[in-house]
Structure 1
Amino acid sequence: MTPKLLLHLLLLLGLFGTLPAAETAPAAEKAKIEALISHIQGLEGATFIRNGSDYSAANAAKFLRAKWERNDKEIKSAEDFIAKAASTSGTSGKPYIIRFKDGKETPCGEYLTAQLKKQ
C-alpha cells in the first residue's frame, strides 16, 4: 500500500468516525414497547392473524419482539413501534389483526395505540 493511499484511508476512517451513531429508543420508550409486547403475550385466548395465518398470543409477542429488534434503529418511540413493526406486514402490506376470545377482531395497530394511551 502506498503512503498516499494509506493517508486517504486514514482520512476516510477519521471522517466516518465523526458521524453520529444511529440511536435506538430511549429507555422510557423501550419500557413502553416492552409493556405493549407483554400485553399482547398476556391476551388469554386471543389469536394474532398475520398474512392469513393464525398465531398464539405468545408467538405474536415473540414475532413482534424480533421485528422490533430487526428495525431497532428506525424505532425511537412506542408510536414508531406500533407504526413500523406492529401494524402491518412488511411482506404483504396486510394489517395484523387480533381476534379476541369472544370472536371480535380489531387491527393490532389500533388496539396497541389504545393500550399505549392507557399507560
Structure 2
Amino acid sequence: MLRIFGRSVYCVLALWTGLAAVASATPSPSEDKVIQTLIQRVEKTTDMVFVRNGSEYNATDAASHMRSKYDHFKAEIVTAEDFIERCATRSEMTKVAYKVKLAGGAAMRESGDFLRDELRKLRQH
C-alpha cells in the first residue's frame, strides 16, 4: 500500500513540477527580440490594413494591439511562432481570424500567414 501511495505522490509531484515549468515559460531574450522585431515590421508596413473582427486598422494600431496581447500572454509564449499563434492570428473573443490587406491590389490574407512569412525572412538574415 505504501509503495502505491509513494508512486502516486511521486507522479503528482512530477506533474506539478512540469505544470509549473510551463506556467512560467517566457521567451528567451533573443526570441523576445525576434518578436519585438516582428511587431516593428508590422508597425512600419504603412501600406498595410489590418482587419480585426470586420474593422480595419492601420499598421500602428495593429502593432499596438499585438503588443498588448503579447504583454498579456507573455507567460504562455516561448517562441515567435507561439507569439504569432497566440497574439496575432485571431480574436480571443470571437475566434475570427485576423486578416491583412497590402497596398497594390494584393489579395487579403490571414495575418498568421503574413507574419510567418515575415518571420521566415527575418530568420534568413
The answer (yes or no) to whether the contact 1:36–1:116 under 8 Å persists in 2 is yes
The answer (yes or no) to whether the contact 1:44–1:101 under 8 Å persists in 2 is no
Provide the residue aligned with 1:68 in structure 2. Answer: 70
The structure that is helix-richer by fraction is 2
Larger Rg belongs to: 1
Provide the residue aligned with 2:40 in structure 1. Answer: 38
Structure 1 alignment gaps of length 5 or more: 1-18
Provide the residue aligned with 1:11 in structure 2. Answer: none
Instruction: Please list every run of at least 4 consecutive aligned residues from structure 1 whose deviation after the TM superposition is greater than 3 angstroms.
Output: none
Provide the residue aligned with 1:114 in structure 2. Answer: 117
Provide the residue aligned with 2:50 in structure 1. Answer: 48
Q: Which amino acid aligns with 2:121?
A: K
CA distance in 1, matches of 2:83, 2:111: 12
- Post-superposition shift, 1:22? 1.1
Aligned length: 101
Provide the residue aligned with 2:59 in structure 1. Answer: 57
- Post-superposition shift, 1:103? 3.4
CA distance in 1, matches of 2:105, 2:86: 26
TM-score by length of 2: 0.76
- Post-superposition shift, 1:45? 1.9
> Aligned with 1:95: secondary structure?
coil
Structure 2 alignment gaps of length 5 or more: 1-19
Q: Percent identity?
A: 32
TM-score by length of 1: 0.80
RMSD: 1.4
The answer (yes or no) to whether the contact 2:25–2:77 under 8 Å persists in 1 is no
Q: Which amino acid aligns with 1:77?
A: T
